[in-house]
Amino acid sequence: MGFFDRLKEGLQKTRKGITEKIDQVLVSFGKIDEELFEELEEILITSDVGIETTSKIIEDLKKKVKEKKVIDPKMVKELLKEELVSIMQDEDTDLNLNTSPSVIIVIGVNGVGKTTSIGKIANLYKQRGKRVILAAGDTFRAAAIDQLEIWANRVGVDLIKQSEGSDPAAVVYDAVQSAKARKADILICDTAGRLHTKKNLMDELNKVSRVLDRELPNSSRETLLVLDATTGQNAISQAKTFSECANITGIVLTKLDGTAKGGIVIAIKNELNIPVKLIGVGEKIDDLQRFSSQEFVEALFE
Ligand SMILES: Nc1nc2c(ncn2[C@@H]2O[C@H](COP(=O)(O)OP(=O)(O)OP(=O)(O)O)[C@@H](O)[C@H]2O)c(=O)[nH]1
Ligand SMILES: [Mg+2]
């Protein structure tokens, strides 16, 4: 299956939740009036686009309808598509991995899909001929190390690990030395999503970050925050919390296939000042895609 069809398939539920409902509204209205906008507004809000972002979309849409003197409700769909693409603005979603080694740190609360996404990212770059090393920086649970090891074996990349409970910064230090010795192109570090307190978690991330600053001062680094699309508006508050202590360079939005409320992408793009770089559309190894607003809207509405 091609990339675009895979995206469409991953967005099935959201297509039902947003697009089909919008189509129903547009065919059921004989003219464009306030009530039609209210119906559209409700569809967007219930799809997790968020109140703030929805208000802006509806306002802009009303303006466009007026400017273009549109009278047929069916024409509203094209205008809405345009509006969604423009509100999401396509930034540069390339991962900045210009040095060898480059580092990717993957952070986020527990269960959002960090480890799985690391496996998928490793696969993506291995396929492109890059030498990838994984660091098992989630030492909080033994199962976390095992899970990453399974991914490392599946993809065919090296894993640097220590025992459960060891210092994640020490694991990352080891991994950096290996990455240098083995001339790796990309080092990807897993981190714990679950610790006793938020402060523990943030201290741990800071410590890992300091090791990388010291050991690889001139290396490209991506700090990717993983957010679970099925958690809705909660994802936005997680991003705000992590932003306070990490210099997040991109978001990986997982489990888009598992929600009818994929409108969360639109809210994230509009409310946070962080680019969505990758999206997860399934549990399989190649179910991770580069994000493009244009393609997202096309896949949603086509
Ligand atoms: N459907 C679907 N499931 C996903 C996706 N990404 C991850 N998952 C699933 O989400 C679950 C949790 O994923 P993990 O990768 O273990 O999450 P984590 O953030 O590493 O979790 P902790 O290590 O507990 O903090 C697993 O069952 C994954 O298969 C996705 O894009 N789509
Ligand atoms: Mg994990």
Across 164-171, average pLDDT: 96
- Asked which of 71-75, 88-92, 103-107, 115-119 is least confident by mean pLDDT, the reply is 88-92
Find the 81 Cα to ligand 1 centroid distance in Å.
30
Question: What pLDDT is stored for residue 21 in this prediction?
Answer: 96
Find the 225 Cα to ligand 2 centroid distance in Å.
13
Do domains 3-88 and 102-301 share one topology? The answer is: no
- Closest-CA residue, ligand 1 atom 21, reads 111
Confirm or reject: Cβ of 13 under 6 Å from ligand 1.
no
Interatomic CA distance for residues 32 and 52, integer angstroms? 23
Looking from the CA of residue 144, the nearest atom of ligand 1 is 23
State pLDDT tens for residues 240-284: 999 988 899 999 999 999 999 999 999 999 899 899 999 999 999
- Closest-CA residue, ligand 1 atom 17, reads 113
Indicate if the pLDDT at residue 118 is higher than 90.
yes
Confirm or reject: Cβ of 182 under 6 Å from ligand 1.
no
Looking from the CA of residue 280, the nearest atom of ligand 1 is 31
Find the 280 Cα to ligand 1 centroid distance in Å.
10
Indicate if the pLDDT at residue 198 is higher than 90.
no
More confident residue, 218 or 90: 218
Tell me phi and psi for residue 113, to 5 degrees: 115, 25
Report residue 130's pLDDT band, with 50, 70 and 90 as the boundaries.
very high
What DSSP letter does each residue of 187-222 carry, written as one string? EEE---S--SSHHHHHHHHHHHHHHHHHH-TTS-EE
Question: What pLDDT is stored for residue 273 in this prediction?
Answer: 87
Question: What pLDDT is stored for residue 38 in this prediction?
Answer: 97
Question: What pLDDT is stored for residue 2 in this prediction?
Answer: 85
Q: Are 76 and 36 in contact (CB under 8 A)?
A: yes
Q: Which CATH superfamily is domain 102-301 in?
A: P-loop containing nucleotide triphosphate hydrolases (3.40.50.300)
Find the 28 Cα to ligand 1 centroid distance in Å.
40
Find the 105 Cα to ligand 1 centroid distance in Å.
16
* Spans of all domains in the chain: 3-88, 102-301
Find the 267 Cα to ligand 1 centroid distance in Å.
22
Question: What pLDDT is stored for residue 244 in this prediction?
Answer: 86
State pLDDT tens for residues 1-29: 788 999 999 999 999 999 999 999 999 99
Indicate if the pLDDT at residue 70 is higher than 90.
yes
Confirm or reject: Cβ of 110 under 6 Å from ligand 1.
yes
Interatomic CA distance for residues 236 and 274, integer angstroms? 11
Looking from the CA of residue 279, the nearest atom of ligand 1 is 31
Across 213-237, average pLDDT: 96
Indicate if the pLDDT at residue 196 is higher than 80.
no
Question: What pLDDT is stored for residue 143 in this prediction?
Answer: 94
Interatomic CA distance for residues 287 and 285, integer angstroms? 6
Question: What pLDDT is stored for residue 141 in this prediction?
Answer: 86
Question: What pLDDT is stored for residue 89 in this prediction?
Answer: 84
Residue found under tokens 């507004």: 41
Q: State in words which class domain 3-88 has.
A: mainly alpha
What DSSP letter does each residue of 62-91 carry, written as one string? HHHHHHTT---GGGHHHHHHHHHHHHH---
Across 55-60, average pLDDT: 97
Indicate if the pLDDT at residue 195 is higher than 80.
no
With pLDDT > 90 as the criterion, what percentage of the chain qualifies?
Answer: 90
Confirm or reject: Cβ of 137 under 6 Å from ligand 1.
no
Q: Average per-residue pLDDT in the chain? A: 94
